[in-house]
Structure formats: C-alpha cells, structure tokens
Structure 1
C-alpha cells in the first residue's frame, strides 16, 4: 500500500496534511490488525491449539479435556539384595539402589497432536527415562532381604472434538482417548528371615 504525500505550501495545508497522514496511518494500522490472523488459540491448561476458525467453512478441531491416571502397571517382585546373618546376636543390614529405565509410549487415538500431549505431561514420547529408589533394611539375628519392582503409570488423555459451523456457532462433538505409559520410581519391600 503506497501513500502519496504532497509538500504543503502553507500552514493550513501543513495541518491538513498532518491530519491526512494521521488518518492514513490509523487506517493502515487497522487494515494490518484486521488482516493479521491469530495463528494459535490458548485454552485451559495453557494448551495451544492450531488455528481453528475458517470463516464460512465448517471447521473441526480437538482439545485436551482432561488427563487422569488410568491404571498402574507393576512389575514382578525381584530380589535386590540379601545379607545372610552369621549369628542370632548379630545385626545385619543391607542397602541397595535399584533403577528402572523405559521409553515413554502412546497408544489409542491421538487427535490433538503428540506435541500437545508431551507439553501437558512434561515428557517426550519415545524418549527413555530412568527412575531409581534406595532400599534398606536392618535385621537382628536374621537374614535381611530387599525386593523391588518397577512402577509404570498409564495416563489417559481424553480429547474432545469441537465443531465450528459457517455461521460461527460452535458445538461439542465426541471424545477420543489416548494412553501414555510413563515411568515412576521403583517400589521396595523388605523382610527378615531366620
């Protein structure tokens, strides 16, 4: 857009030209603001959604409605360490740090985009995460035994479809669920055996 400005030859013309320039700049600013399209919309939980409104066209988009703990997978109990006590008068202790590593995985139906799920959970799908726990036990005159098992929580990500009609009104559609398996600190248990 080009704005031609003539050189004013009198004080009145100069004031008039300043008003024209001011009006032109305001008009240009309004045109730029109107023409600029917002590329993302922020909703609850600070989830950024892709551009969703196309004037005059039926448009559908998805949001994350909620995230809940769906279930927890526990591994089998495994021996971490044993300290065999030599006599009934002895105090036997054992301590061990156990570690479990796994890749974060997703299953089910992903509608909002992996990057939005990752941002909400604070984890990268496909990345390997390790968690550790230190276990210890003290026994008197008995063998000290430590066991551990891995813990893998599975989060359910419930997504909701939104439908925007050409006249601008919006309706809620169906839901879809994705499931993300994550890693958590291993669990320990201990006991003393004669």
Structure 2
C-alpha cells in the first residue's frame, strides 16, 4: 500500500524473555498492506536465533524466518532506558544495528490488533494468501532510535530512511493466531 509514493515500513528488534512460551531474539521488517479496515502487515524479512521459532513461523504462519545471531544490551537508569542490538545472519552477514533511547513512558498498557498477511509457498508452489490475526498488550515508551543497515546486508535499501516514530514495548503479551 502506498501513500504519496511512499510505503509504511516497520522495523523491530524483539527480545522474548524466558518467562514466555519460547525465549529468543528477533529482527524483522514489516510492510503495511491494504487488507480491509484492520491494520494489516506482511513480514518479508525476519531473523531469529531459535530453531523452534524458525520452524514454527514458517509452518504455522508462512513467515519466512531465517537464522541469525544477536547481541542485545539493555541499560535501565534514572534518566530512561537504553537498548542496543546487533544482528548478523549466517556467515556473519551484518543485518542491522539499533540504538534506542527511551524518553517518555506512556501510562498503562496499550492494545494493538493487526492482521498478518503472507504469501503461502509450499514445495515451490504458491498456495495464495494466508491471514493470521495478531493482538498484543504492552507498556509503551516513546523515544529516539538510531538504526544502521550495513551496505552489504539485505536491508541496505533502508540506509537513508529516518524513523517516523520510535517506540519501545515492554511487559508485552502477544498472541498470534488462535488464543
């Protein structure tokens, strides 16, 4: 979906903690797509560091997860929270670096609902679109993000793009598919 010749793209580093169903790290790029009234996205690029997440994302939701290695650094202090992350694909191909600085925490937990729309490809054949409902509740902090997408990486087309909005979600509850 384009508006004035532009596409809305979201990038995220996610750290799923051990107290959830599966602990792993993730880097993703989501693109807004036109699909009814509810916000809809497609995830063409995504990397994770856990084999069960990789297999599950592909089998359950047609999300093309790939393997990567992550370095995550969190610093919580009186002046806000910093978060830094780096991801590298296999053979040490650099994917992205992020530095986030929290500025303002919004009160309470906020809901988000979306539809994930993916092209379902099995055995090299196109099986059409697969839609999956997603919903989340999270504490939201607004801040500033500095992204670096190395020239040699698959996300290099984002090198000269500046974030429109930067948020950090904590205390996240996420459901994808039936719950």
Give the structure-2-normalised TM-score: 0.23
More strand by share: 2
More helix by share: 1
Larger RCO, structure (CA 8 Å, separation 6 or more): 1
Larger radius of gyration: 1
